[in-house]
A = this chain, B = another copy of it.
């Protein structure tokens, strides 16, 4: 990563440490107890992949103002940066082993922010049993940029991918969808909404819950899986095209939280926001119909609800149908990153 703190003055009068002080103060505690991290004081870190397992790696960047709001609590920025990467591991059925962190700090970063941000990382580290392995801290004349690389492992050859779905499979999704998108869409109307309902949506936006236990327990059961980050419609398209199948989704079957249902009703929103909104970080997966009992058992074991929302077919279109079988036309299909 970098180096031990030097015997040198702070870089400015704000009480903020320099690069090495930053690592020693804020990041080294996140590596404590992880022998391979070498105290974040060496050039690279060591990690072990359990025998018989394949290693899995994913890198995701979050940029302030794009992937989270600058006004989001600092701890949620840390939680989200780690959470969205762990969600990618979850969608492969992988168990996390550790992560590295690239942090590009804008000129106005504060020690309060650094404390909050690393507290969010620490919370997610503890929850999922991993440590910080290494990384790089640099200055940027631009927005705060957070790059996380998460490393995990799956039983050799057992990984879930996007490409295994077959025509006739059931389509499932975990948890509830649309909450995070609703939090964003309704942020200027928050005062009009029931406070606990809005708080629920906001927590879902700020603190994604990677479905790691579910992903692990779906190995050998699900034919394909993806995590819902770009919106259910878009991610269904990604999975479907990778597998060479089409799908029909019953919009009535989509799992909505009570909070989402009440906010949609009150604000007279359409289903589009649920289908196109991003940041759900639920697992969207497929499985043959005869596996449904096993899927439900795996979900229970994982303490994570799952819902059957449609079926795949040998077409190449992705239809969303309403209560009476009518097509719901989606103007756009998810968001793009640039």
Tell me how far the C-beta of A237 lies from the nearest C-beta in chain B, rounded to whole angstroms: 7
Complex interface residues of chain A between 114 and 161 (CB less than 8 A to chain B): 133-143, 145, 147, 149-152, 154, 159, 161
Contact B140 A59 (CB under 8 A): no
Interface-side segment among A99-107, A171-179, A191-199: A99-107
A217 to B132 alpha-carbon distance, docked (Å):
29
Contact B161 A38 (CB under 8 A): yes
A59 and B134 in contact, given A226-B43, A242-B4 (Cβ under 8 angstroms)? yes
Contact B136 A66 (CB under 8 A): no
Contact A134 B6 (CB under 8 A): no
A137 to B104 alpha-carbon distance, docked (Å):
16
Contact B44 A138 (CB under 8 A): no
Interface-side segment among A46-54, A246-254, A268-276: A46-54
* Chain B residues in 8 Å Cβ range of A204: none
Task: Say yes or no for A321: interface residue by CB 8 A criterion.
Answer: no
A100 and B43 in contact, given A66-B139, A138-B67 (Cβ under 8 angstroms)? no
A88 to B133 alpha-carbon distance, docked (Å):
14
A3 to B234 alpha-carbon distance, docked (Å):
10
* Chain B residues in 8 Å Cβ range of A159: 46
Q: Which residue of B lies closest to A18 (CB)?
A: B336
A47 to B59 alpha-carbon distance, docked (Å):
14
* Chain B residues in 8 Å Cβ range of A161: 38, 42
Contact A43 B58 (CB under 8 A): yes
Contact A46 B41 (CB under 8 A): no
Task: Say yes or no for A55: interface residue by CB 8 A criterion.
Answer: yes
* Chain B residues in 8 Å Cβ range of A47: 54-57
A141 and B139 in contact, given A45-B56, A92-B42 (Cβ under 8 angstroms)? no
* Chain B residues in 8 Å Cβ range of A36: 54
A61 to B3 alpha-carbon distance, docked (Å):
16
A195 to B296 alpha-carbon distance, docked (Å):
71
A93 to B145 alpha-carbon distance, docked (Å):
30
Task: State the A residues within 8 Å of B (CB).
Answer: 1-4, 6, 11, 18-20, 22, 36, 38, 41-49, 54-61, 63, 65-67, 87-89, 91-92, 94, 98, 100-102, 104-105, 133-143, 145, 147, 149-152, 154, 159, 161-163, 226-227, 230, 234, 237-238, 241-242, 333, 336-338
